[in-house]
Structure 1
Amino acid sequence: MNRKAIKRKTARAAWQPAESEPLLKNDFRVLIWVLAVAGSLLAIFSPVLISSDLGTGLKYGLDLDGGTWLQLQLEGAVVQASADETKIISQEYERLLGTGVTVTDATSTHITFTFNGTASNETIDSLGYGSSSSTFSDNRTSVTLSATKQQVLQRFLSGRLDTEVVFTQRGDEPAYEIRKSVTEDGLNSLLKPVGGKVSYFSDAVTTNTRDDTKTILDRKLNGLGLKDIQIRPSDKYLLIDLAGVYNLSEAENIAATPGKFEIRLHVEGNRTEHVLYGEQIDEVGVPRVDERGAWGVPFTLNAEGAGALRDAAIRYNATREPDRHSLIMYLDDRVVYNATMTDSLAAQIQRAPVSDLVASTGTGGKEAARELQVHLRAGALPVTLKVIGSGQVSASLGEQFKLQLVFAGIVAVLAVAIIVALRYRRNRIIVPMLATSTSEVIIILGFASLPPLPWLPLIGQFFGWQLDLASITGIIAVVGTGIDHLIIITDEVLHGGKLPPIKIYKMRVLKAFSIILMAAATVFFALLPLLTLGFGSLKGFAITTIIGVIVGVGIARPAYARIIHESLKGELAVADEDEDYE
C-alpha cells in the first residue's frame, strides 16, 4: 500500500464516527438542536402556558385577535426656568397673611422675612415653602424658612399650576418636570411678575415618568383580567393594544383615568383638610357588599397613613365629635365616599392608629367598586393621559388575517421545497434542509410562548411577545434567509458530487460559516435600533428576525452542517485528500 493510500485511510478513520453509535450521542451540536426543538414544543403546548383558543401558549396581537387600540399622549413638560425667590416669598406670604412682607435676607439655604403682627408656625408652614422658625419683637414677626432657590421655585410652580412639579436634571443643569399640560407662553406669563422666565421648554415628560406610567397601566389593565395587553412607549406617547376588548369607551375610561385616590377630613363649613393619598395604602381587598346592600372596597393603610389619619382626627376634634366631621374619599376629584365617622371608629382612632378602612361606593355600585379596587391596587398615574387616537379590529377580521397568514406560510414552505428539490434532486438533502428550516420556526415560536420577562433589561423583550402581522412577516423572512444559509453550507460540503474528507470538510464548513456570520451580523445590527427606537409593529418584526438570526446561527446551522454530512455519507463517495478543492 502506498503512502497516499495509507494517509487517506488514516484520515477517514479519524473523522468517521463508529457506525454502532447513534448520531445524537456523537455530536453536541445535534443534541442542542434536538433539545431546543423539544423545549420549544413543550413551551408551545404546555398546559401551564396555554393562553390562546388554539390550545397553545402563543399570544396574538391586536391584528390577529381583534380588539381595541389606543394612542395616549402623556401630558406634561420639562422646563428650565429662573425667578427671584424673594419676590415669590413676598407675594405668597402677603396673600396668606393679608399684610406687607419684607424679605431681609436670602442665602443658598435660608430666606428670612418680616411682617407686622403674629402668625403660628403651622400657618406659615401651610404654604409648603419649607420648615420655619420665628421670633416676635415690637409687634413684628421675623420668620426664617429653610429652603433653597430651586425648592422655592418648585413649590411656586406646583401651587400656581395646581399640579405636581418634580425636580430633575437636564444634563448638568437643574430642571423641573411639570406633570400637567402647559405652554411656554403660559409659564412666562406666570413667572414674569416674580422676575422669572423660561430658558428651556419641552412638551414631553422624563423617561422615568413615562416608564412609571407604563408600569402602572400594566397593573391596572392586568387587574381587570384583560389578556394579551401590549403597551409600547415612545417619547411622548403610549400605544396600547387591548386584544379582546371591543368596548371603546370602556377601554378609554380604563386607560386614561389617572386613579388618584385621596382622603380628606371635613373640618367646618365647606372646609376640608387633606389627610393622605393612595400611596399610603398597603393592601387592597376584593369588593364586597355589606348588610345594607352597599358595595365597598376594604383597604389597609401603612403606618404613615394610619398615623396621618389619627393626627388629623385628633387635631380637628373628630374623635370626640364624630357626627360633625365627615371622612371624604376622592377618586380623581370625584367623591366615592362621604360619611361621618361612627362612634366606634372615632373611639378606636382616639386610642391608637387605625389601618383597616372600607371605601363604600353605595348600593348597586359593584362595577364602581371593582374600578376603585383596580385604581387602589395599581396606584395613581403620575401624569394625565389624553386619548389622541383610537380604533378597533373586529374578531372576524383577525380570524381572516390568521387564515391568510397560514396560507402564506404554506405557500412559502412549498415554494422553498420546490426550489431546493429542483437544485439538488436528493431526498437526503431536501428533507434535512426543510426539517432544519421548520425547526427554526418552532424555536422562534417557543420563545414567543414563554412568560414575559420585563425585569430583564433589553433581553426580556425576546420572551413572551405577541404574534402580529409584522412578526409573522419576520418569521417568513427568517425562513428565506435561513434557506440561503443552508444552501451555502450544502454547496460547501459537496464537491463534484463527492464528500470531502473530514479535514477538508471542516475547512469548507468554516468558510461557509464565515460568510453566514457576516450576513447574520449585518442583519442583527441593522435591526438592533428598532428594539429601542421602534414604535408599533416594527419592533415585533425586529424581535422576531433577531431571534431567528441568533437561533439559526447558534443552533440550527451547526446541527445541519453535521446532519447533512452524515446523511450523504451513505449515498456519496468520499473524495481523496489529494483532489483539488479550491
Structure 2
Amino acid sequence: MLEPIKKNWRILLLIVVVLGATVALFAPQFGPQTTPGENASEAQQGITNLQYGLDLAGGTRVRAPLLGYTATGVDFGGDTPVEVEEAVAAELDDTGARNVGTYVEDDARQVEVTDASVSEDQFRAAMDAAGYGYEDVRPGVTPETRNLAQEIIQGKINEAGLSGGSVQQVQSITGRYFMLVEVPGEGREDVVSLLQERGTVQIDIAYPTDNGTAVQEAVLIQDDFENIGTATQREGTTQSYVPVTVRNTATDGDQSPAAGFQQAVADRGFQSAYQTETDRCEYNQETGEIGNDNPCLLLTVDGEVVNSFGMDPGLAASMASGEWADTGSFQLTTGDFGTAETISVNLRAGALPAELDISGQGTSSTISAAQGENYKNYSLVTGILAVFAVAGMVFLRYREPAVALPMIVTALAEVYALLGFAALLSYPLELAVIAGFIAVVGTGVDDLVIIADEVMSEGEVNSRTVFDSRFRRAFWVIGAAAATTIVAMSPLMVLSLGDLSGFAIFTILGVLIGVLITRPAYGDILRRLLTIR
C-alpha cells in the first residue's frame, strides 16, 4: 500500500491541490462575505466563489493624492512632537495644530501640514520661523496620515454596505503616493460623494436623573477639536489612550468649545462622581442606561454610541475649578490598544486627516456593468483560445497522445489551482490578473515541453534510472528559468503599482505551483507512460 503512494506522491499531491481548489471555488464557506443589509445571493457572483474587480464587474475607480506638504529630516531641537506641531501651527495663519502633524520612526522625523490652503512656500516659511531645521519639503503627507486615511475610507465603504469595495496606497514612478479606491457596481458621483461626505461625530454626556438616564447631546462636536492624536500605549501598563485637544478660542463672541465642555462636565457632577481611581463609568450601550450614579462621556458616531468613558479625578477637579479650559487637553483612556485605535478613527470618521485631490491631480474612471460583462466574456474566450492554441501546437510537435494529453491536462490543472487560490484569498480578478493566468499557461507549457524534449531526445527510455537522469537535467533548466521569472516580477509585486501587482503576484504564484507541484507530477506521469521497466 505504501509503495505505490511513495512512488506516485507527486501525482497525488497534484490531485490534492486540485481537490482543494475545487473546495475553495465552490464551497459556500469560502464565498464572499455579506455585509449588513445584503443577502448571500447579492454577494455571490455566479456559481463560483470567484470575486471580480472593476474590469470584469463594472464600477468606479478613483485615484487621488492626499493634499499637504511634508518636511523631512526635521531637527526637533529637543522639543516634543506636540510642541513642534503647536509651534509650526502658530506660524501659519488660520491653521490650527490639528492640521499640523509629526511622524517619528527611529531617526526619521517629519512634520506635515494637511491644510489645503497652505502653499509650499508658506510651509517652508513657517518651519523657518519656528526654528526647526529640515532637509527638504515634498508634496504629500506622512505614512501615518496615509494609513489613517486608508482606514477611514475603508470604514466609509464598509458602512455604506458596498460589497467588494477596496482602498489601497499606490506609488507613482515619481515617488508620489495616491489613494486608489475601487467600488464595484457604483457610479462615479456616488463614490465621490461618499469620499467627500462628512459624518456626524460628537461627544454626549449621559447622567442619572430621578426618571432614569438622560443624555445631554453634542457637548463636543467634531469641529470643536483642535487636535486628535493617534492611539498610544501607556508605558508599563496594558492601557492605551487617544490624546485630544479642544479649541479654547471663541468665535463671534460665543463661549469657546473648551469652556462650554468644561461647564457641562461641572454641571453634571463629574467631580463628585469621580474622586478615586476606582470610580468607573457603567453605561450600558444596549439599554442606554447607567448602572450606577456616575455620569459618562459618550462617543457617538452618526447617532450610535460606540464608546463610553469615565473621568480621571484630577481632570474632573480641574474642570470644576475652571482651570482646564486654558489648555483644553485630555486623554480618552481604554483597556487595550485596538480599542484606542478604533476611537481615534471614530473621532476622525467622515473627515479625512487630509483632503483628497479628486478634481486636481486625481483621476477617476467608470466601467458600466455591461462593459464589465463584455470584458468577462472576452477574457473567457481569450483563455479558451489560448488553451486550444497551446494544445494544437503541442499535438503538432509530438503527435503522440501519451506525451501531449498529460501536458495539456497538467497545464490546465495549474490554472485551476490558481483560480482556487484567488477564490480562497478573495482576490478580485482583473484584466491584469487574467493576463497573468495566460502568461502562466505559456510559461508552464514551455517548461513541460523542455521536460518532454529532454526525456525523449535520446530515443527510447529504457528504464526509470535513465528517465530520472534526463528529468533532473530538464528540471535544472526549469528551476533556473523560474528563478529568473520570480526575480524579474518581484519589483512589480512589491511596489504599489496598482493592477501590475496582481499580474506579478499570480505570475509568481503560477511559477511556484509549476516548479513545486505540476512539473514534478508531469514527470511522474511521463515516467509511468514511457519507461519500459
- Shorter-chain TM-score above 0.5: yes
User: Which residue does 2:159 correspond to in 1?
Assistant: 223
Would the alpha carbon gap of residues 562 and 68 (structure 1) be closer, same or farther in structure 2, given more than 3 Å must change? same
CA distance in 2, matches of 1:186, 1:314: 33
Q: For residue 59 of structure 1, what is the aligned residue in structure 2?
A: 51
Q: 1:207 & 1:304 partners in 2: Cα distance?
A: 19
Which of 308, 316, 325 pairs up with 2:263?
Answer: 316
8 Å Cα contact 1:471/1:540 also seen in 2: yes
Write the deviation string for residues 463-493 of structure 1: whole angstroms up to 9, x where unpaired: 3321111111111111011111111111222
Q: Which runs of no fewer than 5 residues in structure 2 stay unpaired?
A: 33-43, 172-176, 205-215, 232-239, 247-257, 270-288, 305-342
Determine whether 1:353 maps to 2:306. Answer: no
Pair 1:157 & 2:78 matched: no
Deviations 1:325-350 (A, max 9, x none): xxxxxxxxxxxxxxxxxxxxxx9899
Q: 2:438 aligns with which of 459, 465, 476?
A: 476
Residue 200 in structure 1 maps to residue 136 in structure 2: yes
Which of 365, 381, 384 aligns to 2:355? It is 384
1:392 CA displacement: 0.6
Distance in 1 (alpha carbons) for counterparts of 2:24 and 2:347: 31
- SS of residue matched to 1:316: helix
Match of 2:181 in 1: 240
Give the deviation of 1:227 after TM superposition: 1.9
Distance 1:258-1:74 versus aligned 2 partners, 3 A rule: farther
Work out whether 1:445 is the aligned partner of 2:443: no
Whole-angstrom CA distance in 1 between matches of 2:261 and 2:422: 56
Given the superposition, is the C-alpha separation of residues 209 and 274 from structure 1 closer, same or farther in structure 2, using an over 3 Å criterion? closer
Query: Partner amino acid for 2:8?
Result: D
Equivalent residue for 1:183?
A: 119
- After superposition, the Cα gap between the structure-2 partners of 1:186 and 1:260, relative to the gap in structure 1 and judged at 3 Å, is farther
- Kept in 1, the 8 Å contact 2:114–2:141? The answer is yes
Q: Distance between the aligned counterparts of 2:227 and 2:126, measured in 1?
A: 29
Give CA deviations for 1:392-420 in whole Å, capped at 9, x if unaligned. Answer: 10111111111111111111111111111
Tell me the CA shift for residue 50 of structure 1.
2.8
Q: How many Å apart are 1:422 and its aligned residue? A: 1.3
What does residue 400 of structure 1 align with? 374
Counterparts of 1:65 and 1:22 in 2: how far apart (Å)?
49
1:427 Cα deviation from its structure 2 partner: 1.7
Q: Identity of aligned pairs, percent?
A: 31
Letter of the 1:241 partner, please give it: E
Specify whether residues 28 and 277 from structure 1 end up closer, same or farther in structure 2 by C-alpha distance, changes over 3 A only: same
1:535 to 476, 497, 511: 497
CA gap of 1:511–1:381, structure 2 versus 1, over 3 A, is: same
Residue identity in the other structure for 1:389: T
Runs of 5+ unmatched residues, structure 1: 1-19, 86-107, 110-147, 281-301, 323-346, 363-372, 451-462, 575-582
**1:495, distance to aligned residue in structure 2 (A):** 4.5
Separation in 2, partners of 1:348, 1:183: 49
Per the TM alignment, residue 260 of structure 1 is displaced from its structure 2 partner at its CA by 7.8
> 1:250 aligned to 190, 196, 205, which one?
190
Query: Cα distance 1:215–1:361, how it changes in 2: closer, same or farther (>3 A)?
Result: closer
Distance 1:180 1:27, change over 3 A: farther
- Number of residue pairs matched by the alignment: 416
Question: 1:154, CA displacement in angstroms?
Answer: 2.2
Structure 2: distance between partners of 1:305 and 1:171? 22
Equivalent residue for 2:448, pick from 486, 503, 506: 486
Q: Give the C-alpha shift of residue 41 in structure 1.
A: 0.9
Q: 1:73 aligns with which of 61, 65, 86?
A: 65
Matches within 5 A, 1:406-445: 406-445=380-419
Calculate the aligned-residue CA RMSD, in Å: 4.0
Residues 297-348 of structure 1 deviation map (CA, whole Å, 9 limit, x = unaligned): xxxxx99899x9xx978841566499xxxxxxxxxxxxxxxxxxxxxxxx98
Against the structure 1 CA distance between its residues 21 and 424, is the aligned structure 2 distance closer, same or farther, given a 3 Å change threshold? farther
TM superposition shift of 1:513: 0.6
- Equivalent-residue separation in structure 2 for 1:42 and 1:171 (angstroms): 45
Deviation at 1:545, TM superposition (A): 0.5
Counterpart AA for 1:386 = D
Question: 1:245, CA displacement in angstroms?
Answer: 1.2
Aligned residue identity for 2:263: Y
Aligned partner of residue 28 in structure 2, secondary structure: coil
Residue deviations 1:262-296, cap 9 Å, x none? 4489999xxx965997989xxxxxxxxxxxxxxxx
* 8 Å Cα contact 1:71/1:390 also seen in 2: yes
SS of residue matched to 2:483: helix
Tell me how far apart the structure 2 counterparts of residues 502 and 304 of structure 1 sit (CA, whole Å): 69
The 8 Å contact of residues 474 and 544 in structure 1, kept in 2 or not, is answered as yes
Distance 2:130 2:45 in 1: 63
The code of the aligned residue for 1:403 comes to N
**Cα shift at 1:242:** 0.8
Give the C-alpha shift of residue 152 in structure 1: 3.6
One-letter amino acid of the structure 1 residue matched with residue 59 of structure 2? G
Give the AA of the match of 1:352: N
User: Could you tell me how far apart the structure 1 residues matched to 2:529 and 2:477 are?
Assistant: 23
Q: Show the counterpart of 1:26.
A: 7
Partner residue in 1 for 2:477: 515
TM-score (norm 1): 0.63
Kindly provide the amino acid, as one letter, of the partner of residue 180 in structure 1: D
Q: Please give the alpha-carbon distance, in whole angstroms, between the structure 2 residues aligned to 1:467 and 1:22.
A: 41
1:179/1:382 contact within 8 Å kept: yes
Tell me which amino acid in the other structure corresponds to 1:508.
Answer: R
Pairing 1:267-306 to 2, within 5 Å after superposition? none
Q: Is the 8 A contact 1:259 1:381 kept in 2?
A: no
Given that 1:79 and 1:201 are in contact with CA atoms closer than 8 Å, whether structure 2 keeps it comes out as yes
SS in 1 for 2:63: strand
How far 1:197 sits from its partner (Å)? Answer: 7.2
